[in-house]
Amino acid sequence: MCRVGLIAGWLAACAVGLVSCASGPAPLKPRGAVAVKLDAAKKRSTVQAGLANLVTITMPPARPGFAWQISFHDSRYLKQQTDFTPPAAADAGPAISFLAINNGNTRLRFVLVPASTNLGVDPVDQQEVVFSIR
């Protein structure tokens, strides 16, 4: 009789463990914001952000007929929240937002390419953003 109780208890514990694993951790909600405006003359920028910060990056203005694209993004650290949004002002570039979801160091790379580009086209400009998330 004692073995049946132990087995039933063990099975119940396993079932609870499986249910809690299946649901996964609660998604992070933004806490705090970091605004980064990239300078066309400076090709590499460094950013410090806190865990769960919403990071909004404003790109340099794009030349007519060209568009910024992401060429490298490590989704273990930064979760993309928006696509590129049109410039807010004539002298600004498009903006894009990411949520810092993990502590560590990572980078984003952006390239400026013709808007109707085919694969294999060389970029005319690039920007790199190095992150330290703590």
Mean pLDDT of the chain: 87
Please give the pLDDT value at position 109: 99
Percentage of the chain surpassing pLDDT 90? 68
* Range picked from 1-10, 16-25, 29-38, 108-117 for highest mean pLDDT: 29-38
Please state the domain extents for the chain. Answer: 33-133
Is 22's pLDDT higher than 90? Answer: no
Please give the pLDDT value at position 83: 98
pTM (2 d.p.): 0.79
Please give the pLDDT value at position 80: 98
Please give the pLDDT value at position 45: 98
Is 18's pLDDT higher than 70? Answer: no
Two tokens, residue 25? 């951790």
Please give the pLDDT value at position 77: 98
The CATH architecture one would assign to domain 33-133 is: Sandwich (2.60)
pLDDT digits (tens, 9 = 90+) for 31-66: 999 999 999 999 999 999 999 999 999 999 999 999
Is 4's pLDDT higher than 80? Answer: no
